Amino acid sequence: MRGLASIWTRSIACQQYRVLTPLAASETARALCRTPQSRPSRHHGLRLGAMSTSSQQPATSSGPDASSGGIRLTQLSHGGGCGCKIAPAKLQEILRGVQLDFGSPDLLVGASTSDDAAVYRLTPDLALILTTDFFMPIVDDPRDFGRVAAANAISDVYAMGGRPVLALSVLGAPVSVLPAEVIGAVLEGGAETCRRAGIPLAGGHSIDTPEPLFGLVVAGVAPPHHIRRNSTARAGDVLLLSKPLGVGACTTALKKGRLDRQGYEEVLATMTRLNTLGLRVATDPRVHAMTDVTGFGLLGHLLEVCRGSGLAGRLAGGAVPLLGPAAELARAGVLPGAVKRNWESYGGSVRLQPGVQPWLRDLLCDPQTSGGLLLAAEESAVADLQRLAEEEAR
Region 82-99: mean pLDDT is 75
CA distance linking residue 120 with residue 220, whole number of Å: 11
Given 33, 82, 194, 306, the catalytic residue: 82
Rg, C-alpha atoms of the chain: 20
Residue 54 lies in a domain: yes
- The answer to whether residue 14 is domain-embedded is yes
In terms of residues, how long is the chain? Answer: 394
Q: Helices 261-272 and 142-159 meet at what angle, rounded to 10?
A: 40
Measured CA to CA, the distance from residue 36 to residue 262 in angstroms comes to: 14
Q: By the 8 A CB rule, do 352 and 59 touch?
A: no
Among 243, 254, 204, 191, which Cα is nearest to 62's? Answer: 254
> What distance in Å separates the CA atoms of residue 62 and residue 58, rounded to the nearest whole number?
12
Sign of torsion over alpha carbons 362, 365, 369, 374: positive
Q: Residue 10 falls within a domain, yes or no? A: yes
Residue 298 lies in a domain: yes
What's the whole-model pTM score? 0.82
Work out how many domains the chain is built from and give that number: 1
The pLDDT of residue 12 is 35
Question: Are 159 and 274 within 8 A, CB to CB?
Answer: no
Q: Which tens digits make up the pLDDT trace of 328-373?
A: 999 999 999 999 999 999 999 999 988 899 999 999 999 999 999 9
For residue 99, what pLDDT is reported? 76
Q: Indicate whether 24 belongs to any domain.
A: yes
Question: For residue 180, what are the contacts with CB-CB under 8 A and spacing of at least 6?
Answer: none
- Distance between CA atoms of residues 9 and 30, nearest Å: 9
At 59 the pLDDT is: 35
Judged by DSSP in three states, 279 sits in helix
CB 246 within 8 A of CB 363: yes
Q: In this predicted model, what pLDDT tens digit does every residue of 205-230 receive, in sequence order?
A: 999 999 999 999 999 999 999 999 99
Q: What is the pLDDT of residues 36-78, one digit of tens each?
A: 233 333 222 222 222 222 223 333 344 445 455 578 898 887 6
Residue of 362, 325, 381 whose CA lies nearest to 53? 325
**Helices vs strands, H then E, count in the chain:** 11, 13
Q: At what angle do helices 88-95 and 337-346 cross, to 10 degrees?
A: 60
**Predicted pLDDT of residue 67:** 52
The upper half-sphere exposure of residue 142, i.e. CA atoms within 13 Å in the direction of its Cβ, equals: 22
DSSP reduced 3-state for 362: helix
Residue type, 19: V
C-alpha to C-alpha distance for 341 and 362, rounded to whole angstroms: 11
Is position 172 within any domain?
Answer: no
Which CATH number goes with the domain that contains 252?
3.90.650.10
Tell whether 55 is covered by a domain. Answer: yes
| 82 a catalytic residue | yes
Q: What is the mean pLDDT of residues 148-170?
A: 98
Average pLDDT, whole number, for the chain?
A: 83
Distances, alpha carbon 120 to alpha carbons 99, 125, 131, 219, in Å: 18, 11, 12, 11
With a cut of 60, say whether residue 18 has pLDDT above it: no
Q: What is the pLDDT of residues 234-276, one digit of tens each?
A: 999 999 999 999 999 999 999 999 999 999 999 999 999 999 9
The helix/strand/coil state of 346 is helix
Is 287 within the bounds of a domain?
Answer: yes
Range of the domain at 282: 5-63+229-393
pLDDT at 13: 35
